[in-house]
Amino acid sequence: MAALITCAIMCALRHHGEHGGVARLLTPDKGLMAGYVRGARSRALRPVLLPGNLVKAEFRVRSDEQLASLTVELGHSRAPLLAEPLPAAAIDWACALTAATLPESVPCPALYEALGGLLSAVEAAPAARGWAVALVRYELLLLAELGFGLDLARCVATGATTDLAFVSPRSAAAVSLAAATGYETRLLRLPPFMLTGEPADWDDIIDGLRLTGFFLERSVLTEGRADVLAARERLVERLKRAVA
């Protein structure tokens, strides 16, 4: 029986049978992995199998066609954050998005590092200003990893690399301020922080979430995955209320 022992970020758990569950975890070297956890609904394991927790995972599998059996040990708990509405919504959304969209067993080390960084930012500064930009950047990276990346390097109409202010919904490419004249209402605003490392105000952050959300909904969270968007809608509404 082949075994893999790795650190992992807990992303989702689906109950299976009376006592067990199928967990989906993001690993540094193997990408998203799924495994059956015996006793997942027990008092001992419930606090371990929470979204956002860092765990030590041991996957054991007899063949590639079988679901691995999985045992987990808690490495670092983020459970206290789940009692706070805004951090909890951010963790739920980021982990649900990861579990619902990534193909299994495809390495994505950049996403592992980015998700870990986002969760650490939420933990370090639960107020949204400390992590909202990281969330937008995570969604942008995930789109790119899935083959739906935005082309923000130059204007799709003129080739200009300066004054990029919008994104075309059709081409997912940047549009300069000059080229957008007269078409602004048909385009999505491109906040400056998505091109540079400069700070973002709340209007920019909300526009960034609107931009990535448009392409996530159109290209990634389709058909059976559309229900995941409910977690994002809760998060965005809480963000808007927090900054109102």
Q: Which residue has the higher pLDDT, 125 or 11?
A: 11
Q: Which residues contact 34 (CB under 8 A, 6 or more apart)?
A: 22, 23, 24, 25, 67, 68, 104
Residue 173 DSSP one-character state? B
Structure tokens at 178: 């000059």
Q: Is the pLDDT of residue 126 over 80?
A: no
Global pTM reads: 0.94
Q: Specify which residues 57 forms β-bridges with.
A: 6, 72
Average pLDDT, the chain: 93
Asked if the structure places residue 174 within a domain, the reply is no
* Spatial distance between the Cα atoms of 58 and 35, rounded to a whole number of angstroms: 9
Say which residue the tokens 């091109």 belong to: 195
Q: Does residue 101 sit in the same domain as residue 30?
A: no
Domain boundary residue, one of 77, 95, 111 = 77
Q: Average of pLDDT values for 9-38?
A: 94
Are 41 and 136 in the same domain? Answer: no
Tell me the per-residue pLDDT of 13-24, one tens digit each, with 9 for 90 and over.
999 878 899 999
Determine, yes or no, domain membership for 220. Answer: yes
Q: What does the pLDDT look like over 45-104, one tens digit per residue? A: 999 999 999 999 999 987 767 899 999 999 999 999 999 999 999 999 999 999 999 999
Do 228 and 220 meet the contact criterion of CB atoms below 8 Å apart? no
The parent domain of residue 219 ranges over: 80-152+190-244
Flag whether 125 is in a domain. yes
pLDDT of residue 47: 96
pLDDT tens-place string over residues 172-183: 999 999 999 999
Show the beta-strand stretches assigned E in the chain: 2-16, 20-27, 31-37, 54-61, 68-76, 164-167, 174-176, 188-189
